[in-house]
Amino acid sequence: MSVADVLSVMPLILTGVGALLVLLLGPFLQRGLVYCLAVAAGTAAGVWGALYPASYTPAIPGISFSPLARYLVPIFCIAGVLTLLYSHGYNDRHRIEGEEYPATVLFGLFAMCVLPCATNLLTLFLALESIAFAFYILVAIDLNRAESGEAGLKYLLFGAVAAAFTAFGISLIFAGSGSLELSAALDFRNRAIMSAGWGMILIGIAFKLSLVPGHLWTPDVYQGAPAPVAGFLSTGSKVAAAAFLLLLLGVAAPARELHVPLFALSLLSMVLGNLAALRQNNIKRMLAYSSIAHMGYLTLALLTGTRDGYAAVLLYGAIYTAMNLAAFGAIAALSGDEERARMEEYSGVGYSAPFRAGVLALAMIALAGIPPTAGFMGKFFIFYSAVKGGEIALAIIGIISAAISAYFYLRVVVHLYMRPAETTPPQPASPAESAALFLSAAAIVVIGVFPNALLHYLGTVLR
Amino acid sequence: METIVFYILAAVTLVGTVLAITARQGVHAIVYLVTSFFALALIFYLLGAPMVASFEVIIYAGAIMVLFLFVIMMLDLGKPEKIQTPKLYDWCPAILLLVVITGSMGVLASRAATPLNAFAGISVQEFSFTLFKRYGAAIEIISMQLLFALVGALYLGRRR
């Protein structure tokens, strides 16, 4: 292992060592300093990941800093750092103490950075499981609220079943191909066993991506988890699960057996997710059903199996991260001792907290897919690649369901600006929260207006 | 000879696991599971992996099961569980699983079996070389995962 190898896996070292340092130094440092240390480790890893040249040769057996990793590691790091910035003030108000919180966020970030670097099935599975482990802890971390513990338990039970399915699928692929390399997943000589393995993996990933019918945990977990954690869960872990599928598919068209299950998962998620979100009055439950629908769009692009489709998946991953972090960040920043749960509690907030409400409204407009926000660009490329890839029926259903979804997103905007205030105005936001909100809002607008730079880079990611 | 021993061990493993699942008393379930682990360890030995066999006995049957036993004793869960007789509805997952298993057995049995290469014994050196060189990264990730599982358990254990 040479110096160059160590340098190329530096993002993993920075986040991993950062997590351990936070854990060790936590008891001796002030709370603010601990969060600063965690933010610094995450930022350093992200900057390093964005600047260091990628290569396909493994640095350590099982790990290589591939172009895909170079694209995804900065996105995960941005998500992790923004989560930490949102959490500091939020955890203060909600009395979530201890260095365990920032350390676990960094550990989750470490696992997310490992996932796109994986070159064999074992590392890939362990990374996916480590991400889930971090979130089992983070979802249940609010000891003062019973719902948080309940959400953690639900996530643990569903996650354990999903992990069992994924592990069984990977072991069937190993049995069918005799190898743990990533390319083994495409070796369809033992068709029966390989199809069974892929089926098991799809069931596991459907749970992770919360695709219908594996979506039942999502609303409860989002509702119970602290808002910054729900934001990180809905972005980092979802993009990581999508990357898991992308790595297994190896930028090739999915095998013909996978077409029907992926088609059904995508169709059901888009339709049921959007229809169920219409009836929600709790903003976090609404965002949960909306994330189910968005993962349906993502699956639609995966289903096409074309280069355009995979580029659309990766672009949407980045855009979805910005949109959802802005939404959950605004919810976190607007919370007092308790979170504002019902839509009515957001009435009139647009005038008492114009900046935070503005970011929330922007996030909703982006999620609805209205130009010039990034949400429009993401949806445009997904449906474009779907039509070009021959999935015209599914694309039309997707566009119709996306049009329906505008209702519940814009309902939040209506409450923010066109209803008289019902609750006391929120406390002023901390500088960290304002900075994080500004960054996510800027990302939504910049990617929406200038998507070319990102698209150009994506062309080099997918060989 | 080996084939006969294998089938006996496989039967013991299966029966032990089924009894472990159906046992009403936690302690009984653990004893059945330990039996099944011992049989499984011998199967590993037959496959030419004495290291894995000894780990199976030391770690699974030894450490983990003793830990389970301690937890059951500490929390005083020794009394048999009272459960109602399962309703027709409760059998649905079991029936579904039965269909899946029969289906997969059918698929696997319908094809001619290709015998595997005979297993040569694997030395401790080869085993540890593969484990810590080829899958060294995996070991590191698992260590981090276990550490944070511990941290999380300690933190969440403070909940009243």
Tens of pLDDT, residue by residue over B132-148, are 888 889 999 999 999 99
- As a whole number, the mean pLDDT across chain A is 92
| B116 within a domain of the structure (yes/no) | no
The whole-angstrom separation of Cα B65 and Cα B72 is 11
Instruction: Please state the length of chain A.
Output: 463
Q: pLDDT tier at A443 (50, 70, 90 boundaries)?
A: very high
Confidence at residue B65, expressed as pLDDT on a 0 to 100 scale = 87
Q: Of B79, B114, B141, which residue is a domain's last?
A: B79
| A330 within a domain of the structure (yes/no) | yes
Q: pLDDT tier at A191 (50, 70, 90 boundaries)?
A: confident
What are A361's two structure tokens? 């409204």
What single letter denotes the amino acid at residue B156?
L
Mean pLDDT for A379-399 is 93
CB contact under 8 A, B135 and A60: no
Confidence at residue B119, expressed as pLDDT on a 0 to 100 scale = 64
Residue that has been written with the tokens 């808002």 in this structure: A227
- Comparing alpha-carbon positions, the chain B residue that sits nearest to A175 is B116
Q: Please state the domain count of chain B.
A: 2
| A416 within a domain of the structure (yes/no) | yes
Say if CB A296 and CB A242 are below 8 A apart: no
pLDDT per residue as tens digits for the range B9-38: 999 999 999 999 888 888 888 889 999 999
Looking at the structure, tell me whether residues B3 and B57 fall in a common domain: yes
The whole-angstrom separation of Cα A334 and Cα A349 is 9
| B145 within a domain of the structure (yes/no) | yes
Looking at the structure, tell me whether residues B71 and B140 fall in a common domain: no
Mean pLDDT for A192-199 is 88
Mean pLDDT for A185-197 is 84
Tell which of A121, A126, A189 to mutate to test the B interface (max B CBs under 10 Å).
A126
Q: How many CB pairs under 8 A join A and B?
A: 78
| A95 within a domain of the structure (yes/no) | no
pLDDT per residue as tens digits for the range A203-238: 999 999 999 888 999 999 999 999 999 999 999 999
Residue numbers of A between 83 and 122 with CB closer than 8 Å to B: 98, 100, 103-104, 107, 110-111, 114, 122
Confidence at residue A17, expressed as pLDDT on a 0 to 100 scale = 95
Query: Does residue B115 carry a pLDDT above 70?
Result: no
| A451 within a domain of the structure (yes/no) | yes
Q: Which ipTM did the prediction report?
A: 0.90
Say if CB A242 and CB A313 are below 8 A apart: yes
What are B15's two structure tokens? 């029966």
Q: Which residues of chain B does A103 touch, with a Cβ-Cβ cutoff of 8 Å?
A: 148, 151
pLDDT per residue as tens digits for the range A28-74: 999 899 999 999 999 999 999 999 988 888 888 889 999 999 999 99
CB contact under 8 A, A129 and B145: yes
Looking at the structure, tell me whether residues B8 and B72 fall in a common domain: yes
Question: With pLDDT > 70 as the criterion, what percentage of chain A qualifies?
Answer: 100
Asked if A446 is an interface residue toward chain B (Cβ–Cβ < 8 A), one would say no
Query: Does residue A310 carry a pLDDT above 70?
Result: yes
Q: Of B79, B110, B138, which residue is a domain's last?
A: B79
Q: Please state the domain count of chain A.
A: 1
CATH number of B14's domain: 1.20.120.1200
Looking at the structure, tell me whether residues B75 and B126 fall in a common domain: no
What single letter denotes the amino acid at residue A38?
A
Q: What range defines the domain where residue A375 resides?
A: 253-463
Query: What is the sign of the dihedral through the CA atoms of B85, B87, B91 and B93?
Result: negative
| A388 within a domain of the structure (yes/no) | yes
Say if CB A105 and CB A138 are below 8 A apart: yes
Confidence at residue A137, expressed as pLDDT on a 0 to 100 scale = 94
The whole-angstrom separation of Cα A382 and Cα A378 is 6
Give, in order, the Cα–Cα distances in Å from A118 to each of A108, A135, A188, A244, A298. 16, 20, 21, 9, 22
Confidence at residue B114, expressed as pLDDT on a 0 to 100 scale = 65
* Distance in Å, alpha carbon of B25 to nearest chain A alpha carbon: 23
Query: Does residue A182 carry a pLDDT above 70?
Result: yes
Query: Does residue B82 carry a pLDDT above 80?
Result: no
Q: Which residues of chain A does B142 touch, with a Cβ-Cβ cutoff of 8 Å?
A: 126
Q: What range defines the domain where residue B53 resides?
A: 1-79
Looking at the structure, tell me whether residues B18 and B73 fall in a common domain: yes
**B136: nearest Cα among A62, A8, A268:** A62
Say if CB B24 and CB B44 are below 8 A apart: no
Looking at the structure, tell me whether residues B59 and B7 fall in a common domain: yes
**A301: nearest Cα among A316, A317, A319, A313:** A313
Beta-bridge partner residues of A204: none
Looking at the structure, tell me whether residues B60 and B6 fall in a common domain: yes
Confidence at residue A427, expressed as pLDDT on a 0 to 100 scale = 87
Mean pLDDT for A112-129 is 94
- Comparing alpha-carbon positions, the chain B residue that sits nearest to A129 is B145
Say if CB A215 and CB A273 are below 8 A apart: yes
Mean pLDDT for B40-66 is 87
Cα atoms found within 13 Å of the Cα of residue A193, Cβ hemisphere only: 20
